[in-house]
Amino acid sequence: MPERIVIIGANGRLGRAILGFCEGRFEVLPLISADLNLTWPEELIRTVLEPEDFDLLLTTAAFNDVDKCEGNPVADQINGAAPGILAKICAEKNARMIHFSTNYVFDGSKAEPYTEDDPVCPISDYGRSKLLGEQEVLGVSEDNLVIRLSWLFGPGDEKNEATPDWAIRQAVKSDAVCIVEDCWASPGYTLDVAEAVIGLFEKPDVKGILHLANEGTCSWKEFGQHSINCADELGIPVKSKTVGGTTLESIFGHSGRAPRPVHGSLSNARYEALTGNRLRNWEDAVRHYVKHTVAARYLDS
């Protein structure tokens, strides 16, 4: 088990979830962008990390605005080069690094869930920058672990909405909600992902690339519809109960928007083979999130 853990990105959705599971169990140094910024030059990053003793470093920080990454060299810096610098510092300290990546490293042409062995071919600059980060981290040490995720949702900054939050807010305030129906992936509940990641702390033999998501695949529209159904069941006053469909092309086919992979489901087969565990199915995960986090925004306690 690790003795001292650094989390870079501790203020993000996944960072908060992992920090929550670590607190009281491990000694943790949570860092936010004001403490360590991934745009800083290597020397400055080293001044923060070199004095610290740690044997595990997690990087949940990322430049995640897929559209803003398009044509933006800062994406390669934050998502690509900086994880490489962190990996070098980890190697010097003999610390393990667990880094997070995305299903957007795939082009989306495979209708079946993607495995870790499937060829990567990103179609956006965000995907390319995240792939660069994977290569940097594993290029420094094959003992590091890169966990690919998709469609993350969970407690966090309410301004940074994921699909359940957005869909329910739209359904409460307007008569019609439209969500993309020709795009599929596997939702990932940060609380489930975080618990699984903590479980991997005691498995240093798990290295390389690993896919992790709640079980099952859905379209973006089904993800939103199920979120609204859960809200409705709980008595959240939704005006729009049935989601209408729209297309990737109509939402993302304009200049200023990055292309999204049509298919992006992740296979959990390797995770299950290595640990004997599975994450709960995405429908139950969404129901848990809506009941335990979203409902409080709309219902008197």
Should residue 151 be labelled a site residue for ligand NAP when binding is judged by CB under 6 A? yes
DSSP 255: T
**Which of residues 28 and 78 has its CB atom nearest to ligand NAP in the complex?**
78
Q: How far is the CB of 260 from ligand NAP (least distance, A)?
A: 11
Q: Which of 5, 6, 12, 165 contacts ligand NAP by CB under 6 A?
A: 12
Name residues whose C-beta falls within 8 Å of residue 179's C-beta, 6 or more positions apart in sequence: 163, 167, 220, 221, 223, 224, 225, 243, 244, 245, 246
Write the Ramachandran bin of 276: left for phi over 0, alpha for psi from -120 to 50, otherwise beta.
left
Q: 164 by DSSP, 3-state: which?
A: helix
Q: Which of 5, 14, 56, 105 contacts ligand NAP by CB under 6 A?
A: 14
Q: How far is the CB of 118 from ligand NAP (least distance, A)?
A: 16
Should residue 231 be labelled a site residue for ligand NAP when binding is judged by CB under 6 A? no
Should residue 164 be labelled a site residue for ligand NAP when binding is judged by CB under 6 A? no
Q: Which of 30, 84, 127, 156 contacts ligand NAP by CB under 6 A?
A: 156
Assigned token pair, 285? 């995960």
Should residue 47 be labelled a site residue for ligand NAP when binding is judged by CB under 6 A? no
User: Helices 190-201 and 282-289: crossing angle, nearest 10°?
Assistant: 110
286 with 230: CB under 8 angstroms?
A: yes
Q: Using CB positions, name the residue nearest to ligand NAP.
A: 12
75 with 126: CB under 8 angstroms?
A: yes
Binding letters toward ligand NAP, positions 56-85, x by CB under 6 A: ----xxxxx-------------x-------
**Which of residues 109 and 160 has its CB atom nearest to ligand NAP in the complex?**
160
Q: Give me the residue label for tokens 């939050």.
A: 165
**Which of residues 63 and 201 has its CB atom nearest to ligand NAP in the complex?**
63
Q: 100 by DSSP, 3-state: which?
A: strand
Q: How far is the CB of 205 from ligand NAP (least distance, A)?
A: 23
Helix (H) or strand (E) holding 29: strand 27-31
Where along the sequence are the contacts to ligand NAP (CB under 6 A)? 9, 11-15, 32-33, 37-39, 60-64, 78, 100, 102, 130, 149-152, 156, 160
